[in-house]
Amino acid sequence: MARVVVLGAGISGHTAAAFLRKWLGRNDQIVVVSPLPHYNWVPSNIWVGVGLLKPEKVVFPLAPVYRNHGIEFKQARAVALYPEGTDTDASSAVEIEWTLEAKAGERERVTYDFLINATGPKLNFAATDGLGPGKNSLSVCTADHARETSRVFLELIERMKLGERKRFVVGTGHGMCTCEGAAFEYAVNLEFELRAHGVRDKAEVVYLSNEYELGDFGMDGVRIRRSGYVTPSNIFTESLFAERGIDWITRAHVKKVEPGRAFYETLEGEEKEISFDMAMLLPPFSGVGLKAFDRKGEDITPRVFAPNGFMKVDADYQQKPYEEWRSRDWPRYYQSPSFKNLFAAGIAFAPPHAVSRPRVSPKGTPIFAAPPRTGMPSATIGKTVARNIVDMIRGGDKPTHTASMAEMGAACVASAGANPFTGTAASMIVFPIVPDFERFPEYGRDLDYTMGEIGLAGHWIKILLHHMFLYKARLRPGWSLIPE
């Protein structure tokens, strides 16, 4: 009998736990540890944030789902790893702190044969003074954040109907953010809803981003071949914004947010500010702050985790200039180099470097997009890690299944306005996610498998995906037939 502990119940952790339960025997234990009682289909938070969906439509309680499928659920947050065990117990263990109201604050050690760190990110609002809910800007990172954002948005619409003019600033709240795709989706959905409410002429919409060019999305941009021409993604994005009257500011690091004002530094080193009536600015990510200790209780956190708090895996973390980056730097198995029974999945693993070219202002401020690891890649990595653990439990001595972001493609459907007749969505496939200039010297990607389109059909696909993935996440009959 084996016990596998999964830290986190987001897209990656939930996917891993579900497949572990499907593939392992009933005598094997699957334990999921998550500080929240519910699952959140994060991509649909965008629609919550403009008032089109209630938060209840994008979340559901985890405990009944796990109970019905023989998965043990602990509503708690992971605090520390003891991969070597302790002097009194040689079993690998994770220390957790309960967040369940009845046990809040209590600590417990949970032993494991294998552990998957799928904790996701800490939403590091503190990296920018005044950033975030409860301070001077809004967010759609969680369903509750999106609920508050929609409340403010709809109140402003009512004031605009009375003749007031408003400025909306949407984008990234720090020079090292990795969430430009969500900011893009929110910006175009907000603009669409302003038109739907008949107040577009009273609104100014500004997109504020750390991207070097629009459409970078932390992937160093994308190039798409259409009608014999190769077009970079910034042309598509700029055209979309221009058609909708959305202004944009790129190459910006937000330094401070005050009520009604955001202060930012440009890549050229200029200090600027922009006023707003509503700002939805997404935060940078960091690891959740897990510590690691050896058998004697000595801190080995730097051995297990990178300085940003994400877990080290089988990647090449050697510091080297952009020109020497290679696709093989990226992990394939997501296994800790120090402990064979320890894996990371989704956002929890430490990337070896960015994908977009790193740039620094004359003042030494890094301003470039960090690499994305959400959505389809997270689910694929979670499933692959689960497959490898199953094989190792059954006698394999090392992982054999791979999910390198430099070897996999990803599909993304970004809502650009939700309406069954006039809505649109941008549908995109990228292969590979991390450019490989050794295989594809000209653009780093295979243009036969990298494509994009925008239209009403994409919106219907987005709706279908919303329902399909919530069905899959609830582990309803046939869930495993729905691809990641």
Enumerate helices (H) and strands (E) in the chain, giving the number of each: 9, 24
Predicted confidence (pLDDT) at residue 172 exceeds the cutoff of 90: yes
Share of the chain above pLDDT 70, in %: 100
Task: Write the single-letter amino acid at 173.
Answer: G
**DSSP result, 106-129:** -EEEEE-SEEEE----EE-GGGSB
pLDDT value at residue 164: 98
Predicted confidence (pLDDT) at residue 473 exceeds the cutoff of 90: yes
Q: What is the average pLDDT across 45-65?
A: 97
What pairing do the DSSP bridges indicate for beta strands 246-249 and 203-208? parallel
Domain positions in the chain: 3-122+287-393
pLDDT value at residue 68: 97
Kindly report which listed range (188-192, 203-207, 416-420) carries the lowest average pLDDT score. Answer: 416-420
Peptide bond into 35 cis (omega under 30): no
- CATH fold label, 3-122+287-393: FAD/NAD(P)-binding domain (3.50.50)
Predicted confidence (pLDDT) at residue 365 exceeds the cutoff of 90: yes
> 232-251: b or e for each residue (b if 16 or more CB lie within 10 Å)?
bbbebbbebbeebebebbbb
pLDDT value at residue 227: 79
The pLDDT tens digits of the residues spanning 20-38 come to 999 999 999 999 999 999 9
Predicted confidence (pLDDT) at residue 71 exceeds the cutoff of 90: yes
- Average pLDDT, rounded, for the chain: 96
Structure tokens at 285: 């990510």
Q: What is the average pLDDT across 452-457?
A: 92
Q: Pick from 116, 150, 133, 161: which is nearest to 5 by CA?
A: 116
The pLDDT tens digits of the residues spanning 315-351 come to 999 999 999 999 999 999 999 999 999 999 999 999 9
The pLDDT tens digits of the residues spanning 92-103 come to 999 999 999 999
What is the model's pTM? 0.96
- DSSP, collapsed to helix, strand or coil, labels residue 349 as strand
pLDDT value at residue 375: 87
Band (pLDDT 50/70/90 cuts) for residue 425 is very high
First to last CA, the chain: 28
Structure tokens at 304: 């297990």
Q: What is the average pLDDT across 343-361?
A: 97
What pairing do the DSSP bridges indicate for beta strands 107-111 and 93-98? antiparallel
Band (pLDDT 50/70/90 cuts) for residue 88 is confident
